[in-house]
Amino acid sequence: MNESVFRYKLFSRNDSSAFWALFTDNLINLMVLSGVCQFVFQMPADIVYGRIVPGAAVAIIAGIIVYALLAKYVANKTGKNVTAMPYGISTPVMFVYLFGVIGPIYWATNDALLAWQVGIGAGFLGGIVAALGAVVGPFLKKVTPRAGMLGTLCGIALVFIAVVPMAEVFEMPLVGFTCMLIVLWGLVGRYKLPYNIPAGLLALVVGTLMALLMGKSSISFEGVGVYPPMPYYGDLVAGIQYLIANPELFLVLVPVQIYNFIETMNNVESAEAAGDKYPVAVCQLTDGAGTMIGALFGSPFPTTAYIGHPAYKRMGAHTGYIIGVGIVIPLAAFFGLLAFLSNMIPLAAAAPILVFVAISLISNTAASVKPSHMAAVAVAMIPHVSSFLMTKWGSMMNALRETGATNLTGLTDDAMVAAMMQQGAHVVGHQALSQGAIITGLVWGAIVASVIDGHFKNAGGFALAGAVMSSVGILHAGALHMPELNGIVGGYLIMGVALIAYPIWGKVESLSQDTSQS
């Protein structure tokens, strides 16, 4: 008797399109972090391209090896083709580390080397916190409605992965519109392009050629060289010692890394909604370990299972696309090609690919949750709009200072708050919403989804969890602090108690009647 044996193929012809999308995402992150470190924090090129970028590449290699093996394991276990989890540097957390850890050290000491040492120390300790998410991750995944987990990811996708790149498209419209058309044609519409060229590759090639002809990009071999990865034990220890001596910086890391392991949990849920079920604890351990390895080899920046799995699943990718990224990104890092690519590839050519990743996640969420839960998804997205506003308002204030404006107050100083309120800009409220936005979105999305389903105790539990996290600064505060009772904590407490008590008051009259009328 002949039995067909399922054999999972690591490589699919559809991996090529997915490769260019994930490669572009990682490349842009590396371009941004290297540019900020070199030109804002005045780090020398030998630290940026000789230590940070190769260290990030080592972290990417380590994580991709695990996720490739994990995809093969899940495929063989389930007997169906799966798409490997995308992996790379966490974009939101990257900015927190840049401007919440590395930046303050540099601005206080004017010592770029120390800022880097503290950065890798923070990355290593943060990786430990992220890995600990494996202890609570499965439980959180069990009790959290899918709408809460996916809704908060949709908020990130909308404002940071779609809005910003779309603006870059309009900043260089001839290039951006052309590349957007290619992406719409080949990735969104899923029409075959001439000679079956991957849409992501064609967009990058066409956009780069147009930018070169227009003089908007250049070919430069500055920075090209050999940068082998090396462990930096002494620098890592020095950074950790500085953090222990200055615990206020370390306290910034805890809520950020809680964010990071919840982001991983949400991305695993997003993959499951698209049809691929991965063990959340393994993914969280992988992300924490990858971050720690990267820190040892010189990269301060946390790695994570990426947002966007549904987009790569829709392309029909298997595992080859992450293997390709795990080869090409390290080669570019170890031979100094990142600076070369940064000069040559315009952001307007890469941006449409990121827009596609964002809209795929949002559309897949709409298809994978109950229609009634879209209200919860919408609520979960709101804190990220506030996060976006606070980020851009802060950038505006920095730009004003750099252009010579004097007597500027801080964005949240009383005078500025009053002036902004007169213009209809609610700085205080947006600041509170923006701090811990991914967790806030998850909590509120879970509350709304649970209320919709009549699971009031579950909704009340999330409200009380919001009260606890707010009281110690995980939510709605800039850093951890001793427990305190304030208006936001009180608001969560009122919600939690009322939601838990409501079934006791209303179960006799209203719950069954409402169910029968709906």
Q: Same structural domain for residues 381 and 363?
A: no
CB-CB contact of 148 with 362 (8 Å): no
What is the mean predicted confidence (pLDDT) over 187-214?
85
Distance CA 64, CA 128 (A): 19
pLDDT exceeds 60 at position 50 = yes
Q: What pLDDT is stored for residue 518 in this prediction? A: 38
Domain that holds residue 349: 14-369
Q: Same structural domain for residues 449 and 498?
A: yes
Q: Please, how many CA atoms are within 13 Å of residue 291, restricted to the half-sphere of its CB?
A: 34
3-state secondary structure of 513: helix
**Please, where are the H alpha helices in 424-486?**
427-434, 437-452, 456-472
Q: Same structural domain for residues 364 and 381?
A: no
Dig out the tokens for 446 from the structure: 């879970």
Last residue of one domain, picked from the residues 344, 369, 394: 369
Q: Same structural domain for residues 340 and 450?
A: no
Q: Same structural domain for residues 436 and 338?
A: no
Q: Same structural domain for residues 59 and 88?
A: yes
Q: Same structural domain for residues 455 and 328?
A: no
- Taking Cα atoms as reference points, which of 64, 53, 94 lies closest to residue 230? 53
Q: What pLDDT is stored for residue 95 in this prediction? A: 67
The answer to the question of residue 518 being in a domain is no
Domain count, the chain: 2
pLDDT exceeds 80 at position 250 = no
Q: What pLDDT is stored for residue 516 in this prediction? A: 39
Q: 258 or 269, which is more confident?
A: 269
The answer to the question of residue 517 being in a domain is no
3-state secondary structure of 305: strand
Q: Same structural domain for residues 363 and 392?
A: no
| Residue spans of beta strands (DSSP E) within 57-178 | 87-89
The answer to the question of residue 513 being in a domain is no
3-state secondary structure of 89: strand
In 187-202, which positions are buried (b, 16+ CB within 10 angstroms) versus exposed (e)? bbeeeebeeebbbbbb
Q: What pLDDT is stored for residue 99 in this prediction? A: 66
Distance CA 168, CA 352 (A): 9
Q: Same structural domain for residues 190 and 90?
A: yes
Q: Which residue reads 């940064």 in tokens?
A: 342
Q: What pLDDT is stored for residue 503 in this prediction? A: 81
Over residues 295-339, the pLDDT tens digits come to 999 999 888 888 778 888 988 899 999 999 999 999 989 988 877
Q: Same structural domain for residues 99 and 142?
A: yes
Last residue of one domain, picked from the residues 369, 399, 428: 369
pLDDT exceeds 70 at position 81 = yes
Q: Which residue reads 């105790």 in tokens?
A: 457
Q: Please, how many CA atoms are within 13 Å of residue 97, restricted to the half-sphere of its CB?
A: 32
CB-CB contact of 133 with 124 (8 Å): no
Q: Same structural domain for residues 446 and 500?
A: yes
Q: 19 or 201, which is more confident?
A: 19
Q: Same structural domain for residues 212 and 340?
A: yes
Distance CA 53, CA 294 (A): 10
Dig out the tokens for 145 from the structure: 């409605």
Last residue of one domain, picked from the residues 343, 369, 395: 369
If pLDDT is split at 50, 70 and 90, which confidence band does 506 have?
low
Name 68's Cβ contacts closer than 8 Å, sequence gap at least 6.
10, 84, 319, 322, 323, 326
**Total Cβ atoms within 10 A of residue 31:** 19
Distance CA 118, CA 105 (A): 8
- Taking Cα atoms as reference points, which of 326, 296, 454 lies closest to residue 69? 326
Over residues 386-438, the pLDDT tens digits come to 988 988 888 888 888 888 888 888 888 888 889 888 888 899 999 999 888 87
